[in-house]
Structure 1
Amino acid sequence: MSNYTAWMDDVHLITVSVDELDPLRSKLDTPPIIFWEKEHTYYHTEVHQASNPYTIQFTHQDELPIGEELTLLWGSEEIPVYPREIVRTAAFDEKYSAPKATLGAICTEQETIFHLWTPIATIVEVNVNGKLYRMNRTDQGVWFLALSGDWHESYYHFEAAIHGKRVRVNDPYAKGMTIDSKTSVLIDLSRTLQLEETKLPIHYPTDAIIYELHVRDATIHPDSGVKNKGRFLGLTEKNTTTENGYSTGLSYIKELGITHVQLLPVNDYARVPELEPESGYNWGYDPLYFQVPEGSYSILPDQTLSRINELKKMIQAFHEETVGVILDVVFNHVFIREESDFEKLVPGYYFRYDDQGNPSNGTGVGNDFASEKKMARKFILDTIDYWLTEYKVDGFRFDLMGNIDLETMQQIKERCLEEERMILLLGEGWDLPTALDREKKAITAHAGEVNGIGFFNDYFRDSLKGKLFDDRDKGFINGAGRFHERLGDLVKGAILTEGIRSHDIQQSVNYVECHDNHTLWDRLALTNKEDFSTRKKMHQLATAITLLSQGIPFLHAGQEFYRTKYGVGNSYISGDAINAMNWKRRATEHETVEFVKKLIQLRKKHAVFRLRTHEEITQRLHLLSGEPPLFGYTLLGEGKDFTIFINPTTEAREMAVPAPGNWKVAVTNHIEKQEMDVQGNLFPTNAYEVAVLVRKRF
């Protein structure tokens, strides 16, 4: 056995790693030989350079093979040669990618066909129920095998010879896993619940009203009235109520009127013991298996088939209530790179590296998934396809989308356009320091290159409540009208970043809070020491502006009843006491819930609140002149006109209606003025009031 290891770093380059150079100095003049068994051929190379005291590099005129057992013969040394940096070269990606291959295990009553991609392996076997079966290899490094018989719900994993070691890996394409992601499970999908194609009454992205929801948070509270608390099935239960009769869970969401729930990750993730979920908590951003439902949300997590069917039942329940389902997907990283099956199967391929050969860390969690690599991109596209076809979901929210390359996002969009139903696509376009050329990133500044994909509008968020990462900063609603000059852009659905303005209205996802960072209620506790009632009015302004602006409104679950996480700004592992939706609070804040419901109903009923193009907005939305920081604008609808007045100050102020007529208050957060007729040409706004006036046009 040699004391050295040789690495294939390019198609013509081998690097020998040594702890010290002296023992090899006598060999530097000895011509090395590269041998691989299949060809029984010897290739002479020459020493190219001693790049430093610890590596020696050789170049070779012919292309070196992948997937063969290579040996470098150098004097008396027989040094094994393994692929390393070569897997990150364009040549490797071009030669060994298999974009049309069907990967994973396809299980039927008659047979199961296995496919696994690992070009660098020299042997691959599949272990099914404890028995090993040798697999065959294609030129692209796809290993395959067909086993006759019915293997439904059998356990399986792969065993591969990689870098001279026998490596045990689960299937990255697995559809089912055992408890806590120990072993892949074969699933005949035809024997799972078959969901019907559901068409929602949504025809354009701006018709959507998104409600971000964590499955466990939604029903785990003691007063949720739900039997299967914290589980998929908890969100299938209808007519659940609090102790004093207020609707909760699925029925509440239906009554609220939103069009889509956006579920924090429901695929398999780390940190929560699946048999004892109460002993852990996680938002779901530690992904393990991307096509497997999370076991801690199942009432029978040890039964793989059950967790699949339970998730499908939950999606079906939402669809029966005419609510679409958007999945939050985390394709920018994995939980632990070194332990992931991607890294075990093709070390160094699936993740980004900087120019010094260090793993890129734009995500801040230690690894960045290399979406620009052909087989990494294929995995993402195949996973999108799977959730669309098997689970009939209605959209995807891409976590840290700025870490994904533009080409991948464009291909995702093209795939989703193949569906008859409208698929919503949106994501976080933050420009993070990942090792990808900036011009290739799917960041907000490049929104124009991925039309049809929405971007979270941080300009909207920060203008309303202050800069996110400055806990004491204030904005329009809590700073007496600060940033008044930006309100015109906000209500028109403009995305403004780095001086670039996007007028594609469907790309502006308008929000003031989400699962990340402080809830708006907790933020106001930091920025404003006013009494509770004043802070509630500020809060109402923010939610109302979100729902009344052009673009796609996005609400965080419980925002409509001042959701609090008790001052915790990053609650991703903080447990139920902090994260649970407090259904008692929903009951005590019923008046505000009704106010938000009216705003939602107004938006859904009148198309002028959800215009589709910049040209329509120019024609139909007109800003009103007034004394800052009071703000108003008019929407010219079909047969009806609307005027929106917003007063972010502590004083009652009058605002001029745009034209005489029979104006009536349609919605206001000052309930005593609801349905009030407007007398004369002036409307008296109260402190911290938002009011929507309507008149019929004769």
Structure 2
Amino acid sequence: MCFGKPMKDTFIEAKLVSPKLIRIAFLTSLPFERFYATLIKDHREETNLNVTRFASSQGNAIAEALLETPLELGHSYFVKSNYGLVPLSVDEATDFEGFDEKFDAENEALGSLYEKDGTLFSLYAPLASSVSLKIEKQNENVFSLFCLSRKENGVWSIFLQGDWKNAQYVYQVVNSEVLRETIDPYAKASTANGERSVVLCEDDFLLPQWKEGLKPLKSYTEAIIYEGSVRDLTISQNTNIIHKGKYLGLIEENRHTKMGHKAGLAYFQELGFTHLQLLPIYDFKTVDELHPEKGYNWGYDPSQYFVPEGSYASHPEDPLSRIKDAKAMIDILHKNGFRLIMDVVFNHVYDWQTSSFEKTVPNFYFRKKENGQLSNASGCGNVLYSERPMVRKLIVEAAKWWIDFYGVDGFRFDLMGLIDVETVRKIEEYGKSQDPSFMVYGEGWNMGGDSKVALSSMDNAKMLPGFAFFNDGFREVAKRFFGGDLSERDAFRYCYLGSSEQTSTSHPRFLSPSQSLNYVECHDNKTYYDYLHYTKNISDEKELLARSKLVLGAILFSFGIPFIHAGEEIGQTKYGKDNTYNAGDDFNEFDYSLLDSRYSMALYFKDCFLLRKKLSFLSNASLEEIKTFTQIENISSGLRITFSGDLEEFKEVNVFFNPSNEPFTCMLDADQDILLMDGDALPVGIKAMSVLVPKCSMLVVALKKAIS
């Protein structure tokens, strides 16, 4: 319906700036006249506005009108004046005091809820004056349009009788007289590239999750985490993996490289890690799902939080393929003894302006600075307003969906320091109620966050005792020390104990080593090989690989949670680049041809994995117990860590680290078994009372208990 337009050479904007106050702004070349205005509600009711202020200057004017009662949201409003007619923007209402309480829909089931005899559609849109459902039944190729009804809490809903399984739909939402078409923020299924939401029948996907056979975790420190992406781990042309770049490629059995070494799932089994952390597998924006070969992205550009990424599906044109394949991947990983950690980005979205969030509730989902500007603490243009109850609801519901429907075993939170403490606690509480071994950890950087509530940074580690944090202190110290900077030795002693012990120079960073995720590289860092080569200017290949093995040994035999980036175990390069999020397969894929040439390195780390599991005190001891049986001493240019006491089958275990370019010798009190070594010294399997620790290497020896 057309109501006219502003006068020539005149711009007018009307905005609700408080529950009872409308502000009208003018830009005009015309002389100002006596001003009057009326408010039109739902294209019918007209009410004269009480203009309490009018000020003008050089073609600009401001008028303010005071309402007798707070404006009732959920209706269409226009302001008509002697300067023209304009829609009334109510977007500012989301910042009014009491908005969240008035429009509390935390107990509502949002999205599409399918039953064979009918489907309920519900959308949270408290500002909207109308919401329509545009829907097409499967294989009919004809859309129908239905108007939804509004509840007082701002939820619009409709129940459609009949069987709507796999129907495709979008919403048409009118906010402040602007109609925008949007997918469902709570949709569980989607067409390719997120063009339409799809009604999902959950009962069609009731598959076993195979969790019963997974070994329970007594502590996070029993985990050994291996990080990669679906595409990077399967795309190589040097294997016979069939589903390259796909969910199913991760679970193909008996795959191998061109030289016959194990690849894919078989390679994971050979390494023996406990947890596979996958880069985002929810739906992300910037890869064309129908033509994934034309683009590349890690997936830190979220689009749909409840829907798996379609470019990894075997048939991305089929909305159900991504669901079937993602569930199968997780289920088969479980069946083979691996737990799956999902990398989640609940701190920002790809593009806030075109997101389903902004289209359904403008000015609501994203955090602002005190001056009203959008926060960019994430560096990605926006930050989710996680502490807002209905935003928290969406985040928590998405997490629950992945836990219940897909069976994920934990979350790695991207930029966790931007998410409020209460939200991540709710996710932790639910995850551990379903599985006590559920893991939660993330990037705890303090990035400001533009929030007045406690955020989940490392500064608040005491508020999050059940969370682990990427320990960037360990990362930087270990990189330098094992790269040959011997001045970092004392700093590494602190990091070795999980950054949890008071020293003369450092306060505890964490409550215990179970909060310290120990690593030297992850997806968005330079690889350690590249750090040594391009930053430390080490060019000798033998030294580069020796130091690469040494630092991984340090990760695996320190107190805390070992975290390994795929390819780190074979000294993989990204040619000096670090944040290769869109650089393509050449920089990011797991290099199986390199594995063929350095397979002995992979086997060495398999032995490290096995020995860490055998030395259970590294993962099961409390901080107080660690203090009683651990002694760290400087020896020559390296370190000797001695564990003594009741260590199961051992009376004493010694770990030597030598990051220097000179070997050193150490005398022991008795002949000890060499459990693990790297270098040119004595072979494993014999005893020694005097041990040579080669340059750039680690050595583990142990004294077994006497057999009574």
1:420 aligns with 2:435: yes
Q: Deviations over 1:162-206 (max 9, x none)?
A: 110222111011111112211111111111252335142132211
The Cα of 1:422 is off from its aligned counterpart by 1.6
2:146 equivalent in structure 1: 133
User: Residues 642 and 12 (structure 1 numbering): CA distance in 2 closer, same or farther, change over 3 Å?
Assistant: farther
Q: After alignment, is 665-674 or 236-245 more displaced? A: 665-674
Q: Distance in 1 between matches of 2:622 and 2:232?
A: 36
The runs of 5 or more residues in structure 2 that have no matched partner are 7-11, 137-142
Q: After alignment, is 512-521 or 57-66 more displaced? A: 57-66
Give the letter for the 2:610 counterpart.
Q
Among candidates 128, 149, 157, match of residue 144 of structure 1: 157
The Cα of 1:671 is off from its aligned counterpart by 6.2
The Cα of 1:687 is off from its aligned counterpart by 0.6
The Cα of 1:423 is off from its aligned counterpart by 1.0
SS in 1 for 2:314: coil
Q: After alignment, is 375-384 or 535-544 more displaced? A: 535-544
Give the letter for the 2:175 counterpart.
I
2:34 equivalent in structure 1: 26
The Cα of 1:651 is off from its aligned counterpart by 0.7
Among candidates 62, 87, 91, match of residue 94 of structure 2: 87
User: Residues 91 and 125 (structure 1 numbering): CA distance in 2 closer, same or farther, change over 3 Å?
Assistant: same
Alignment of 1:559-578 (within 5 A): 559-578=568-587
CA-based RMSD of the aligned residues comes to: 2.4
SS in 2 for 1:447: helix
SS in 2 for 1:156: strand
Among candidates 463, 466, 473, match of residue 452 of structure 1: 466
Q: Distance in 1 between matches of 2:228 and 2:61?
A: 53
Q: After alignment, is 36-45 or 227-236 more displaced? A: 36-45
1:187 equivalent in structure 2: 200
1:503 aligns with 2:511: yes
TM-score when normalising by structure 2 = 0.92
User: Residues 54 and 594 (structure 1 numbering): CA distance in 2 closer, same or farther, change over 3 Å?
Assistant: farther
SS in 2 for 1:624: strand
Q: Deviations over 1:222-246 (max 9, x none)?
A: 1122011111111110110112210
Alignment of 1:680-695 (within 5 A): 680=689, 682-695=690-703
The Cα of 1:265 is off from its aligned counterpart by 0.5
1:479 aligns with 2:459: no
Q: Distance in 2 between matches of 1:671 and 1:139?
A: 76
Give the letter for the 1:180 counterpart.
N
Give the letter for the 2:493 counterpart.
G
Q: Deviations over 1:494-521 (max 9, x none)?
A: 1699966213222111100000021111
Q: Deviations over 1:587-627 (max 9, x none)?
A: 21111111111111111223211135322222232223534
The Cα of 1:442 is off from its aligned counterpart by 1.1
1:118 equivalent in structure 2: 125
1:461 equivalent in structure 2: 475
Q: After alignment, is 476-485 or 370-379 more displaced? A: 476-485
User: Residues 20 and 635 (structure 1 numbering): CA distance in 2 closer, same or farther, change over 3 Å?
Assistant: farther
2:186 equivalent in structure 1: 173
1:579 aligns with 2:579: no
Contact 2:38 2:46 (C-alpha < 8 Å) held by counterparts:
no
User: Residues 677 and 268 (structure 1 numbering): CA distance in 2 closer, same or farther, change over 3 Å?
Assistant: same
Among candidates 305, 322, 326, match of residue 320 of structure 2: 305
1:101 equivalent in structure 2: 108
SS in 1 for 2:71: coil
2:605 equivalent in structure 1: 596
Q: Distance in 2 between matches of 1:432 and 1:20?
A: 43
The Cα of 1:378 is off from its aligned counterpart by 0.6
Q: Distance in 2 between matches of 1:661 and 1:498?
A: 35
Q: Distance in 2 between matches of 1:366 and 1:108?
A: 39
The Cα of 1:583 is off from its aligned counterpart by 0.7
Contact 1:118 1:142 (C-alpha < 8 Å) held by counterparts:
yes
Among candidates 176, 181, 192, match of residue 163 of structure 1: 176
Contact 1:265 1:328 (C-alpha < 8 Å) held by counterparts:
yes
Q: Deviations over 1:28-69 (max 9, x none)?
A: xx5x55554599684754535859956544444532221122
Q: Distance in 2 between matches of 1:202 and 1:259?
A: 11
Q: After alignment, is 110-119 or 494-503 more displaced? A: 494-503
Contact 1:115 1:142 (C-alpha < 8 Å) held by counterparts:
yes
1:518 aligns with 2:529: no
Among candidates 622, 644, 648, match of residue 638 of structure 1: 648
Contact 1:193 1:312 (C-alpha < 8 Å) held by counterparts:
no
User: Residues 54 and 311 (structure 1 numbering): CA distance in 2 closer, same or farther, change over 3 Å?
Assistant: farther
2:140 equivalent in structure 1: none
Alignment of 1:651-662 (within 5 A): 651-657=662-668, 660-662=669-671
Q: Distance in 2 between matches of 1:347 and 1:258?
A: 45
Contact 2:633 2:639 (C-alpha < 8 Å) held by counterparts:
no
| Count of aligned pairs | 682
SS in 2 for 1:598: helix
SS in 2 for 1:18: strand
Give the letter for the 1:115 counterpart.
S
Contact 2:76 2:176 (C-alpha < 8 Å) held by counterparts:
no
The Cα of 1:24 is off from its aligned counterpart by 5.1
1:472 equivalent in structure 2: none
The Cα of 1:12 is off from its aligned counterpart by 3.1
1:395 equivalent in structure 2: 410
